[in-house]
Homo-oligomer: A and B are copies of this chain.
Amino acid sequence: MRILIQFPEGLKQKALEYAKSLEAKGDEVIISASPNFGACDLALDEARNLNVDKLIHYGHAEFNKVDFNVEYVPYEIDAPLDLLPKSLELLKDFKTIGLVTTVQHLHQLEAIKRFYESNGKTVLIGKPFGFAKHPGQILGCDIGSSSSVDSKVDAHVYFGGGIFHPLGAVLNTKKPFLAIEPFDNKVEFIDKLRETYQKRSKGKILSSLKASSFAIMVTTKNGQHNMRLAEILKKKIESDGLSAAIVVANTFDFDSLNNMMEFDAFVNTACPRIAIDDVDRLRKPLLSANELMQVLSMKKELTALQK
Chain A residues with CB under 8 Å of chain B are 4, 9-10, 12-17, 19-20, 29-36, 45-46, 49-50, 213, 215, 217-218, 220, 225, 227, 243, 245-253, 255-257, 259-263
A20 and B234 CA atoms in complex are apart in Å by: 13
A209 and B17 CA atoms in complex are apart in Å by: 21
Q: Is the CB of A35 within 8 A of B253?
A: yes
Q: Is the CB of B35 within 8 A of A256?
A: yes
Q: Is the CB of B253 within 8 A of A12?
A: no
Chain B residues near A46: list those with CB within 8 A. 220, 248-250
Query: Which chain B residue lies CB-closest to A29?
Result: B245
Question: Within the complex, what minimum Cβ distance (angstroms) separates A233 from chain B?
Answer: 14
Question: A220-B45, A256-B9, A259-B9 given as contacts; is B32 within 8 A of A248 (CB)?
Answer: yes
Chain B residues near A257: list those with CB within 8 A. 33
Q: Is the CB of B250 within 8 A of A13?
A: no
Q: Is the CB of A262 within 8 A of B30?
A: no
Most chain B Cβ neighbours within 10 Å, of A20, A243, A253: A253
A50 and B250 CA atoms in complex are apart in Å by: 11
Chain B residues near A30: list those with CB within 8 A. 218, 245-248
A248 and B52 CA atoms in complex are apart in Å by: 12
Q: Is the CB of A33 within 8 A of B262?
A: no
Question: Within the complex, what minimum Cβ distance (angstroms) separates A145 from chain B?
Answer: 27
Chain B residues near A243: list those with CB within 8 A. 16, 20
Question: Within the complex, what minimum Cβ distance (angstroms) separates A10 from chain B?
Answer: 8
A79 and B256 CA atoms in complex are apart in Å by: 24
Chain B residues near A49: list those with CB within 8 A. 45, 220, 225
Of all A-B residue pairs in the complex, the 4 with the closest CB atoms, nearest first, are A12-B259, A33-B247, A16-B262, A13-B261
Q: Is the CB of A256 within 8 A of B13?
A: no
Chain B residues near A36: list those with CB within 8 A. 256
Q: Which of B16, B218, B250 contacts A250 (CB 8 A)?
A: B250
Chain B residues near A263: list those with CB within 8 A. 16
Query: Which chain B residue lies CB-closest to A213?
Result: B16
Query: Which chain B residue lies CB-closest to A17?
Result: B262
Query: Which chain B residue lies CB-closest to A45?
Result: B45
Chain B residues near A15: list those with CB within 8 A. 245, 247, 260, 262
